[in-house]
Amino acid sequence: MKYVKKAGYFFATIVFLAVTLGPFVWTFLMAITPKAEMFSASVNLIPKHMTWSNFQNLFSGGRRSIAYLAGLKNSLCTVVVTVCIGMPVALVSAYTLGRMEFAGRRLIKNALLITMVIPVMATIIPLYKMFASGHMLDSTFWLSMVYVSSYLPMATWMILNYFLTLPKELEEAARIDGCGGSKAFFKIILPLSYPIILSVSLIMFLSTWSQFQIPLILASSVDTKPMAIVVSEFVTKDSVEYGLIAAAGMVSLIPPAMTTIVFRKYLISGIVGGSVKG
């Protein structure tokens, strides 16, 4: 029975790795396969002749290279603005709802839960009309505000649940020492909350980085379109640059992959800490 369990665990691990890593391996192989060999009548998974021209084209300084690098810069700018604005607002909101008593607190918490189940695409038409009438289209800042409003309920709820796990005696002790109100928050609560702060920031980063439909509608100009929109434009009515798309996809994975690897410990601990109480 012991060996059966080990064999089952080994088989499940192989299946998991094949499902998760398989698409990335296949994409990388597409990126290094010459176009002539890609459409040849062959069943070989690994190309006979590898080429790095698709990666070189992304940084060659040509038209598509300029557009792609601009898209990467726009995506990074949007991520920075979203996290830098969304996290402080979520922190203050969570602390207010979790540690202070005031009329309507429970109603606001319930409203947060309701807004979490409303998809953003359900409001995209009124959003577009509002942006068009307010001359806010093709703006990185206002696009980031849409992301902030979308992630704020989830971020506030996760941080709120984390704050509920912290004993109130910490703040009471701080008040005895003369640190009340905002001083207690900055000196006691905030230093203990960096795991959930990093975790929620990483979730915001990954969610913003992969956005496609919202910027397709609200930020479609050359100066503001993110990386995902630029890559989709490698598909034209005359041709599909499979190798170039695959290479762009692999390069675009580097920022979120590296960030996740570096902060993976905080991502797990933050999610667990933010789901203890509700």
Would you kindly state where each structural domain of the chain is located, as residue ranges? 1-51, 63-273
pLDDT at 102: 79
Under CATH, domain 63-273 is a member of which superfamily?
MetI-like (1.10.3720.10)
Determine the Cα–Cα distance for residues 268 and 270; give it in Å rounded to an integer: 5
Look at the chain and count its residues: 278
Determine the Cα–Cα distance for residues 134 and 167; give it in Å rounded to an integer: 45
pLDDT at 186: 66
pLDDT at 276: 46
pLDDT at 36: 78
* Spans of the chain, pLDDT less than 70: 1-2, 43, 170-186, 266-278
pLDDT at 270: 56
pLDDT at 275: 47
Residue linked to tokens 């980085």: 209
pLDDT at 193: 78
